[in-house]
Amino acid sequence: MFGYGNSGNILGIIIGVVIGAIIIFLICRELVCWYWKINRLVVLMEQQNILLKEILDKNKMVPEVITDSLTGDKYTVQTETAIRSSPDFGSTIKKPLKIGDTVFFQNTLDKDPNWFYVDTIDSIKGWCFAPHFEKI
């Protein structure tokens, strides 16, 4: 039945079985990925990485200022304003400032010297727009 002359048939059958197994594997893999929404999750995670890189790049533009004590020039608030989490009018307000409040200027922003990093008497630190202050 299987003699030396039929070795070409056996080799063809083995190659056919291997190719068939690979095709069945790829079909099953695609069905599993579709069912568990893995392909969609990969796309969403790639978009998330792009957005996180944009946020990281934006935060790299804001210098980190660390101070433990109230140092720097002392200023008084001339118009109502707010201490913000970053030098951007759309950023989160950490504390509203009223006329007459005192702040200590720590640092300025290189790209826009009108933004100052300030520290208050109650240790709230953040960014303020400078034209609202007068030096004491």
Q: What is the CATH classification number for the domain harbouring 79?
A: 2.30.30.40
pLDDT tens column, 58-74: 766 554 444 444 456 78
Are the C-beta atoms of 109 and 122 separated by less than 8 Å?
Answer: no
Q: Could you tell me which residues come within 8 angstroms of residue 69 by beta carbon, excluding any fewer than 6 positions away?
A: none
Confidence of residue 130 (pLDDT cuts 50, 70, 90): confident
Q: Print the domain residue range for 119.
A: 73-135
As for how many domains the chain has, the answer is 2
Q: Tell me: do 131 and 80 sit in the same domain.
A: yes
pLDDT in the model for residue 2:
53
- Reported in sequence order, the residue ranges of 1-136 that DSSP labels E, i.e. its strands, are 73-77, 81-84, 93-97, 102-108, 115-120, 125-129, 133-135
Averaged over 46-62, what is the pLDDT?
78
pLDDT tens column, 75-97: 888 888 888 888 777 788 888 88
Across 28-37, 65-74, 110-119, least confident range: 65-74
Residue 65 is assigned to a structural domain of this protein: no
Averaged over 12-40, what is the pLDDT?
94
Q: Tell me: do 127 and 79 sit in the same domain.
A: yes
Across 1-5, 6-10, 27-31, 63-67, least confident range: 63-67
pLDDT in the model for residue 68:
43
Residue 49 is assigned to a structural domain of this protein: yes
- pTM here is 0.44
Instruction: Report whether pLDDT(102) > 90.
Output: no
Instruction: Report whether pLDDT(7) > 50.
Output: yes
